[in-house]
Amino acid sequence: MTGEGYFGRFGGFYAPEVLVYSLKELQAGYSKLSRDPGFKEELNGLLSTYAGRPTPLYCARRLSEKIGGATIYLKREDLAHTGSHKINNALGQALLAKKTGRSRIIAETGAGQHGVATATVSALLGLDCEIYMGEVDVERQKLNCYRMNLLGAKVNVVKSGSRTLKDSINEAMRDYASTSDHTHYLIGSVVGPHPYPTMVRDFQSVIGAETKDQMASATGKLPDALVACVGGGSNSIGLFHPFIDDREVQMFGAEAAGEGIDTGSHSASIVAGKEGVLHGSRTLILQDENGQVSETASVAAGLDYPAVGPEHAFLNCIGRAAYTAVTDREALSAFHLLSETEGIIPALESAHAIHLAANVARELGPDKNVVVSLSGRGDKDVDQVARLEGKS
């Protein structure tokens, strides 16, 4: 199948009837504004004056020497406002909401990172903000909950089902179905029905576009390989997309292998998933033999999702990008490695990419260049790592 919103046979618009009207309006609004130079200019202004873009491209010499292969560059999304790439998409969608006459933003959040980014941009643009968060997640992430309150957002605690992310998604969709005339549903990754996978990718492509320019200045060449972690897949597709037609640039995605693929306790939907439809999109999903969505796990909350953006399912299918699963243990070791060699504490999500990048750099050998998306900073994870390692 081809056409709008499809990536090969993946993607599409498998929306519940009650959401079709709202999503069609969103498609029309985005389609119009994405071609409007004024919108682009205003968004670029906010990305630079508010979010701190362009983020640096940093040559990690001590890390590269330690690995002993290709030179590793870090795209420093950890230095963007709120500490990760999530602000790029949140700013884009919130500005879109404002320009299309919406006064209210809703979102769901698991670990709370996307909720915080959404509350942040809502405060910036003067929009009402409500975040759906499962009761279990609220317990686990009290501080992020308080952060959202500080930023002026209301947190709706979801007590249905397993009281985690997927129940929050259901609640947010229910809200959106009856409020879309004045409300925008701000989805945090390249998942969901059309237009979200395309729209979120467009907003995150600033990562790859900057990288291309910065590598040209630093080396006069394209990088030989790109590496990023893949939860829903937004920081990775943002890095990859501007290089898709540069066939000589290899692309590698790191999924979460959790305790190991064969333990069943992981979140590697490309490596271990099967085709199906979830949250409005045909993609690769972790499911049992009856098609029931599996429980997932990862030391990195941001990678803990049972599906993946449909464009990644497509890139995997045609062999344009290669996906590998990295275990909790490997990610924790990379978390220490980057901290000790470069003085940069990565998010546990990003540590998955660092581990894979080290393998890619070894494989490529000297005189080659690898760019890794350092999707976020690790301050949020320090407590958890200390506990896991028995240091607190």
**Sheet strand arrangement including 6-7:** 6-7, 10-11, 281-285, 274-278
- 349 binding ligand PLP? (CB under 6 A): yes
Which listed residue (22, 64, 75, 86) is catalytic? Answer: 86
Centroid of chain to Cα 87: 10
Question: Binding residues for ligand PLP, how many (CB under 6 A)?
Answer: 19
Residue 84: CB minimum distance to ligand PLP, A: 4
Mark the segment that binds ligand PLP (CB under 6 A) among 20-28, 100-108, 223-231, 289-297.
223-231
Please indicate whether residue 98 is annotated as part of the active site. Answer: no
- 214 binding ligand PLP? (CB under 6 A): no
- 378 binding ligand PLP? (CB under 6 A): no
Which listed residue (77, 108, 342, 349) is catalytic? Answer: 108
Please indicate whether residue 255 is annotated as part of the active site. Answer: no
Please indicate whether residue 375 is annotated as part of the active site. Answer: yes
- 350 binding ligand PLP? (CB under 6 A): yes
Q: How far is CA 85 from CA 204, 331, 333, in A?
A: 8, 19, 23
Considering only residues 113-132, where is the footprint of ligand PLP by CB under 6 A? 113
- Contact in structure between 328 and 258 (CB atoms under 8 Å): yes
Q: How far is CA 358 from CA 116, 178, 367, 376, in A?
A: 31, 48, 15, 18
The count of residues in the chain is 392
Residue 290: CB minimum distance to ligand PLP, A: 27
Spatial CA neighbour of 261 closest among 235, 227, 297, 226? 297
- Binding ligand PLP (rule: CB under 6 A), the pick from 232, 273, 306, 310 is 232
- Contact in structure between 98 and 133 (CB atoms under 8 Å): no
The 288-327 site mask, x for binding ligand PLP (CB under 6 A), equals --------------xx------------------------
- 334 binding ligand PLP? (CB under 6 A): no
- Binding ligand PLP (rule: CB under 6 A), the pick from 22, 93, 234, 287 is 234
Give DSSP secondary structure letters for 219-280. Answer: HSS--SEEEEE-SSSHHHHHHHGGGTT-TTSEEEEEEEEET-GGGT----HHHH-EEEEETT
Using CB under 6 A, list all residues that contact ligand PLP.
84, 86, 113, 189, 229-236, 302-303, 347, 349-350, 375-376
**Enzyme catalytic residues:** 86, 108, 375
